Structure 1
C-alpha cells in the first residue's frame, strides 16, 4: 500500500467516527476541492456535489437518519451573505470543513 493510500485510509477511518452530517459536509468539500477548485463555485456544482455526497454517505442509513443528517448539514452551512462573491470551489470547501467541525 502506498503512502497516499495509507493516508486516504486513515482519513476515511477518522471520518467514520464523525456525525453523519459532518461526514456529508466533508464529502461535499472533497468533491468541490477535487473538481476544478480554482473555478468560482456555482449552485449547479454545489448541488451536484451534495447529490453525489448524499448518495455516497447517506445512502447506507435509514430515512430518519438521512433526513436528520441533511437538516443538520444544511443548518451548519455558512450564510451566503458571509461568503465573498466569486468564491472558488476550493475556498468553499474550506468553509464546509469548518462547518463540519462545528457538528462534532
Structure 2
C-alpha cells in the first residue's frame, strides 16, 4: 500500500506541474501517457492515436472554453510527427517519446 500511495503522490505532483503548461502541451502529454500506458510495444497507428487524442481531449480540453480548445488542438496536431513515421512501424512507446518532446517545445 505504501508504494501505491507514493505513486499516487508522484502522479498528483506531475498533474499539478502540467497544469501550468500551455493547453496544447498538456494535451500532448496526456496523449503520450495513454500511448505509453496502454500499448508501448504495439505499432502505433492513426486509429490508436485518434483514440488517445479523444480520451485525452475529454480529460484535458473539457475544462477550457471552446476557443482555447480549438487553438490547443490545432497546435497539438501541428506538432505531431508526420504520418510516414506512423506507417514505418513506430511503437506506441516511441511515439509517446516524440509527443513528449513536441510538448516540451510548446512551453
| Match of residue 16 from structure 2 | 13
| Match of residue 101 from structure 2 | 98
**Alignment gaps of 5+ in structure 1:** none
In terms of mean alpha carbon deviation, does 92-101 or 36-45 score higher? Answer: 36-45
Where do residues 1-104 of structure 1 align in structure 2 (5 Å cutoff)? Answer: 2-81=5-84, 85-104=88-107
Q: Counterparts of 2:86 and 2:55 in 1: how far apart (Å)?
A: 23
TM-score by length of 1: 0.93
After TM superposition, which residue ranges in structure 1, 4 or more long, deviate above 6 angstroms? none
Report the Cα offset of residue 75 of structure 1. 1.0
TM-score by length of 2: 0.91
- Please give the root-mean-square deviation of Cα atoms over the aligned residues, in Å: 1.5
* Distance verdict in 2 for CA 1:83–1:45, change over 3 Å: closer
CA contact (8 A) 2:45 2:87 kept: no
CA contact (8 A) 2:45 2:86 kept: no
Q: Greater share of helix residues, 1 or 2?
A: 2
